[in-house]
Structure 1
Amino acid sequence: MSSTKEEEHVFSCYEITEECVKEALEEDKGRSAKLLSWKTENFTKKGDNYMTVVKSLKVKYKSDQRENEKSYVTKTLGHNPMKAFRDITKMGFHKEAQFYSEVAPALNVQLTEVGQLPLRIPACYYTSLELKEEVIILEDLRSRGFQMYDRRKEMDVAHITLVLKELARLHASSFLLRSNDGYENLEEVYKFITVDWINLNDESIKFSRELFEGFIENAVAILNKVGKYKQAIDWLNKLKPNVHTKVEEQLMQKSPQFSVICHGDCWNNNTLFRYNDKGHPAEVVLLDLQLTRIASLATDLNYLTFTSLEGLDRRKNINSYLKTYYMTFQEILEAGGLKMPFTYEELLEEYKAKHVFGIMSALEIVPLVVGEASEVPDYGNISEGGTDSFVQKQRDNMLQMFEKNPLLRQRFLPIFEDIIDGDIS
């Protein structure tokens, strides 16, 4: 037996073992598959991942007297100098592993029983949550032609439509599940999914509060540099002292008709697309489920539209986009014999009511989206008590990017149009 390891991520605290590779292979190919050799390789770059160490796992095996090769994707839990970030990443890793092992199978049963396709997420072949042995082994979707979308580009109509439809399927499937005996209270069935990074413990609360306040300070610095954004600056300064409370309220306060299992982190970087012969997107897969939560479906919609769409497109076409989402949601519920719990007008109002979360998400994500690798802040190296210096470094990068990177101006300034036009209080 042979194994080869490429250079490990600087914060990786656990190496893949032969035993977990065997178990993943047997789960995928059956117990007759015999592992011959394996190796891990780096294939992501800075800016692609923030909470886990992601690698490619190349496996050679023997089955039916033939030698074969298969590629998988491994996710391991990284190690960060700051306790708050370590706690958050561990929480997220555990949530993702349990989503794959417990939640996704239950949701897929609901979908397939009403004649729908399973959720478009990677197949999961192995999970371990043992201390210092945390690992997830997933399908390598590149083998089916899926590829990352350019995170520096806003999604066009064809791409965002696929993502909205898949989000609707995810959200609606939890309504189907909730209609079953014993699943009426999903928070009790899946208690792990109610844990959230914004209020995990005292350290995470302090960390998230400092981040939110820092993102507002960075935005104000940019707007002051640009000028002509006094109304948005006043709104941000008014929000700053209570921003953590406001975001927490938007995530935690649930109206029954909108409460679903959310992706939590649905933006450009966490999607893969397969294209047809004409180069048009034909299918999407949702990735990175570390921030799944039970919350208003409008939090996912705000997160996606504020981080992954150009501002003018979002504002001009939001009715069309939300109607696409609504119709897909309705299709799934009707297949299961359920009535829609809300009207389209109520969906639109709920979407607008969660704009603070959308704006705060964009203040963090958009600079990451449009930045070059050298301009992307390294969450993996935040030191204990170093949130201020981290935010300051991001601010310095943003001010420099504003001079030389037209994408930042193009994507960042339209975030505040809803404030200026009075669409948000």
Structure 2
Amino acid sequence: MGVNDTGNESELTSSTSKMNLEMLQKIFLKIEPDVIIDSYEESKGADRGDNYTAALFRLTLKGHTPSSDGSKKLRWEKTVICKRLPDCKVKREAFKSETLFRNEVEFYNTIMPEFLAFQKRKSGSGNASEIFTAVPQCYLAQDDLVILEDLRVRRFSMPNRQRGLGMEQMKVTLVELAKYHAVSLAYREQHPTEFKKLISKISEGIFAKANTEWYKNYYGILTKNAIQMVTQTVPGKAEYADKLKAFVKNFFGNMVDLVNKDTKLSVICHGDCWTNNILYKYDDKGSICETYFVDFQMIRYGSFALDLSYMIYCCTDASLRKTNLQNWLKIYHQQLVKSLKLLGSLEDLCTDEEDLLQQIKDEFKECARFGLGTAMDMLPISTCSSEEAPDLYVSASEGVPAPPELNVPTNEDCRRKMTDIVMELVDGEML
């Protein structure tokens, strides 16, 4: 799982446009020193609607290794995911891609290695299944380029964006998310100075006060669309639209306040927990045996409930939430307890396990509005077809950078999901 065990990074070019065989050879020199890379092929790594803040490509590397006696060449092949900043400066500025990209570089170069080392020190001969390692191996993370293992090779697959997450997917994802958050909580309690250094390396990618004017029109359109969807779907129940209007009157300010709220259960959040950033591996019987997270560009320091509310309200149907929401919080709580016990910090955070469960419920209720806010952005994208999704990779003319425009036509599924969330939060006194 080593990050940057790739030889001398300073010898590598920081420009993806200069990627060549020599560069790739240096990256894999320490990992697989006997391999000679002869060629590579590049193909698209994401469909339209799957990624907006970075360009994703799949590289197929082909080469050889000499046989033990040197008499023949043995074929070698590896596919990797190459993630880089959009070539177009206007696109980079629109999505604040450079800030987001730096976050991911810091995650792979600094945060995850520190979390892995901490877990190794604390777990000893403990249960390895409570350890969080569910991220792809990183071969290189620098400047405008990140190279990761291709999880598809290990038979991982992405869930259907339009369908969202089902019961089994939710359960296993909550378990892994709790493990990830537990490491953050334990590390913060036991190494407060070092933890402050970690969070100083990352920046809020979207909901920073400085971005208020930049995103004013973007979120103005999204909130207007959300009000329209709710009003059209439940025209005879003005209380739902009224509560929504009150929230969006100062929408960006409310979202900024939510991400800046520092609590006893604040962690380094994943920040972008939706279907396209969660991959599953299935066994021969069709059950999920492994769950991995990808895309750490949106990492932020904030309440654990920001991740939970984002995932629950952006990725599940109201019918599932109605009968399972409280159970999901219990599943998350049970795993958090297990991992915190292993890491030695359970007593630092609560008087007992029931106290922790109540903290989780209270904080989730407070942060549910964040899930609604992100749903206004994500539901139009996640419910549309690939053909309807905006295409980041279409060349834009170089000019004055402008805020992003992702005007996706609303559809019936989007209207239903948005209205369900608003009604659920109003009825549950969370909005």
TM-score of the superposed pair, with normalisation by structure 1? 0.86
1:298 aligns with 2:296: no
Aligned length: 394
Contact 1:299-1:358 at 8 Å conserved across structures: yes
How far 1:27 moved relative to its partner?
4.3
Task: Give distance in 2, aligned partners of 1:194 and 1:62.
Answer: 42
1:206 aligns with 2:248: no
Contact 1:175-1:260 at 8 Å conserved across structures: yes
Please, which moves more after superposition, 20-29 or 105-114?
20-29
- State the secondary structure of the residue aligned to 2:77: strand
From 361, 364, 369, the equivalent of 1:348 is: 361
1:81 aligns with 2:90: yes
Q: Which amino acid aligns with 2:426?
A: I
Q: 1:385/1:109 Cα in 2 relative to 1: closer, same or farther (>3 Å)?
A: closer
Cα distance per residue 1:165-207 (max 9 Å; x no partner)? 11111111112322444x4452334412244332274xx3323
Task: Give distance in 2, aligned partners of 1:235 and 1:385.
Answer: 35
The corresponding residue for 2:337 is 330
Q: Which amino acid aligns with 2:159?
A: Y
1:191 aligns with 2:200: yes
Matches within 5 A, 1:225-244: 225-226=232-233, 227-244=235-252
Q: Which amino acid aligns with 2:90?
A: P
Q: 1:229/1:278 Cα in 2 relative to 1: closer, same or farther (>3 Å)?
A: farther
1:171 aligns with 2:181: yes
Q: Which amino acid aligns with 1:370?
A: T
Contact 1:42-1:55 at 8 Å conserved across structures: yes
Q: Which blocks of at least 5 consecutive residues in structure 2 are unaligned?
A: 1-14, 68-73, 351-355
From 45, 48, 73, the equivalent of 2:47 is: 45
Q: Which blocks of at least 5 consecutive residues in structure 1 are unaligned?
A: 1-11
- State the secondary structure of the residue aligned to 1:54: strand
The corresponding residue for 2:381 is 368
Cα distance per residue 1:127-147 (max 9 Å; x no partner)? 221xxxx11110011111101
How far 1:152 moved relative to its partner?
0.9
Matches within 5 A, 1:37-116: 37-65=39-67, 66-78=74-86, 79-81=88-90, 84-86=93-95, 88-113=96-121, 114=123, 115=126, 116=128
1:377 aligns with 2:420: no
How far 1:100 moved relative to its partner?
0.6
From 23, 26, 38, the equivalent of 1:23 is: 26
Q: 1:185/1:233 Cα in 2 relative to 1: closer, same or farther (>3 Å)?
A: farther
The corresponding residue for 2:3 is none
Task: Give distance in 1, aligned partners of 2:276 and 2:75.
Answer: 35
Q: 1:240/1:338 Cα in 2 relative to 1: closer, same or farther (>3 Å)?
A: closer
How far 1:111 moved relative to its partner?
2.3
Q: Which amino acid aligns with 2:176?
A: E
The corresponding residue for 1:35 is 37
Runs (4+) off by over 6 Å: 380-383
The corresponding residue for 2:261 is 253
Specify which structure has the bigger relative contact order, considering alpha-carbon pairs within 8 angstroms and separated by 6 or more residues: 2
Task: Give distance in 2, aligned partners of 1:304 and 1:22.
Answer: 39
The corresponding residue for 2:274 is 267
The corresponding residue for 1:8 is none
Q: 1:82/1:76 Cα in 2 relative to 1: closer, same or farther (>3 Å)?
A: closer
The corresponding residue for 2:426 is 420
Q: Which amino acid aligns with 2:38?
A: L
How far 1:304 moved relative to its partner?
0.5
Task: Give distance in 1, aligned partners of 2:310 and 2:105.
Answer: 22
- State the secondary structure of the residue aligned to 1:126: strand
- State the secondary structure of the residue aligned to 2:212: helix
Please, which moves more after superposition, 259-268 or 16-25?
16-25
- State the secondary structure of the residue aligned to 2:207: helix
1:140 aligns with 2:143: no
Q: Which amino acid aligns with 1:154?
A: G
Cα distance per residue 1:251-286 (max 9 Å; x no partner)? 01111x211111000111111110111212221110
Q: Which amino acid aligns with 2:371?
A: G
Task: Give distance in 2, aligned partners of 1:217 and 1:15.
Answer: 44
Task: Give distance in 2, aligned partners of 1:141 and 1:200.
Answer: 36
Q: Which amino acid aligns with 2:309?
A: N
Cα distance per residue 1:383-413 (max 9 Å; x no partner)? 868659x36x43xx11xx23xxxx3344232
Q: Percent identity?
A: 23
The corresponding residue for 2:138 is 124
